[in-house]
Structure 1
Amino acid sequence: MAEKIIMLACSAGMSTSLLVSKMQAAAKADGVDYKIFATSSADIDHQLGSDEKPDVLLLGPQIRYMANDVKKKTDKAGIPMDIINMSDYGMMNGENVLKTAEKLLGDA
């Protein structure tokens, strides 16, 4: 079973799929076992209320306008949240985005 669950959210959950693959490769190279997945912004509420809720949520930069509303929900659920750095997102830098998640988790 994965140590931690990292959720990425974007408009439809599609553009973050490649980033998830890059993050999984970076995690494997670092010898850590995370469940990393992407979902749509419409699915955030469902995921936060699920039995396997994420340990951290990263928002795609294209939905940064939702950050305040999502932050209220993640605070209530006790889950750290941040917005993915636009440069890291554009370059699909899975290693840097993984480091951001780990900092939020307190693992870095």
Structure 2
Amino acid sequence: MSILLVCAAGMSTSLLVTRMEDAAKKRQIDVKIEAHPVGDIEKYGNQADVILLGPQVRYQLAAVKKQYVSKPVEVINMQDYGMMNGEKVLEHALKIAGK
């Protein structure tokens, strides 16, 4: 499974990726997680099974959903993002992917 995190510049979201990867390892889940700026979504969106937007780019939700109608696209919970709670964000991604 592949999860794409979309953000403004990719800096803070890279820490969340690390936390999500750690949570996946603990649960022995095979998952590929990447973070990229919203401007690069066309390069990476097609390969992702789930697309999660950082709260700072939530205004892009409708456009991304329209571009990727066959994929689950949601905004990361602001509290989970702020706390860098990789476990909860991973759990949410798995849930919306039907895993």
> Equivalents in 2 of 1:72, 1:46: separation in Å?
16
Q: CA deviation at 1:48?
A: 2.4
Correspondences of 1:1-108 after superposition (within 5 Å): 4-49=1-46, 53-75=47-69, 78-107=70-99
Counterpart of 2:75 in structure 1: which amino acid?
I
Unaligned runs of 5+ in 2: none
| TM-score normalised per structure 1 | 0.89
Which stretch shifts more, 94-103 or 39-48?
39-48
> Equivalents in 2 of 1:106, 1:24: separation in Å?
19
> Equivalents in 2 of 1:98, 1:25: separation in Å?
10
What SS does the aligned partner of 2:34 have? strand
Once the two structures are superposed, residues 43-77 of structure 1 have per-residue CA deviations (whole angstroms, 9 ceiling, x without a partner) of 1112124xxx10000000000011111110111xx
> Equivalents in 2 of 1:24, 1:17: separation in Å?
11
Counterpart of 2:17 in structure 1: which amino acid?
V
Query: Structure 1 runs of 4+ off > 6 angstroms?
Result: none
Unaligned runs of 5+ in 1: none
* Contact in 1 for aligned 2:45/2:51 (Cα 8 Å): no
Q: How many residues align?
A: 99
What SS does the aligned partner of 1:15 have? helix
More helix by share: 2
